[in-house]
Amino acid sequence: MRKNAVKLYKIILSTLSLLILSSCTTKNESRLLVYKINNKYFSLEKTCVEQVSLREDKSLFYKNDNLIIELDNKKECVKQFSTFINSNIGEKMQTLFNGYQIYPETKIVSALFFVNGLYYQAVANRAVALAIVNEYAN
């Protein structure tokens, strides 16, 4: 009986330690937009982004809110983002913010080059869209 209690205690302690450590290492990154394709991740760092705003001219036929993301396409990270997407045409991509999926998984059907620095991101929930705008503003 005592052996089982010690074993259970070790499992609980290990699990708690793992949870605490994992939350510390991902806390800052989780507040960014993260794109996931086939278990590979790309975090859209704040240094790559000039501005994020909510598209206000939402037509009636739009189901979701859209963010307008202005990228600094002189930065290497924007080129890396383009390469990340373009090398996975035909694959499905998830978009995450704060560790949660913000829009249903979508299939990449064409290349993105960010020539003018603009990128539109659909978000299924307006409150989440506003949280993203606020996070990238700070």
- What's the pLDDT score for residue 31? 82
SS (H, E, C) 96-122: EECCEEEEEEEECCCCCCCCCCEEEEE
Q: Are residues 1 and 40 in the same domain?
A: no
Percent of the chain's residues with pLDDT above 90: 55
Band (pLDDT 50/70/90 cuts) for residue 135 is very high
CATH number at residue 40: 3.30.1360.200
Tell me the pLDDT tens digit for each residue of 88-110.
999 999 999 999 999 999 999 99
Q: What's the rounded mean pLDDT across residues 14-23?
A: 43
Q: Are residues 70 and 3 in the same domain?
A: no
Band (pLDDT 50/70/90 cuts) for residue 23 is very low
- What's the pLDDT score for residue 1? 60
The residue range of the domain holding 101 is 32-137
- Burial (CB < 10 A; 0-12, 13-18, 19+), residue 38, is exposed
Residue 62 has pLDDT above 60, yes or no: no
| Number of domains the chain is built from | 2
Q: What pTM did the predictor assign? A: 0.73
Please give the Cα distance from 45 to 132 (Å, whole number).
Answer: 12
Exposure string (b/e) for 4-27, b if CB count within 10 Å is 16 or more?
A: eeeeeeeeeeeeeeeeeeeeeeee
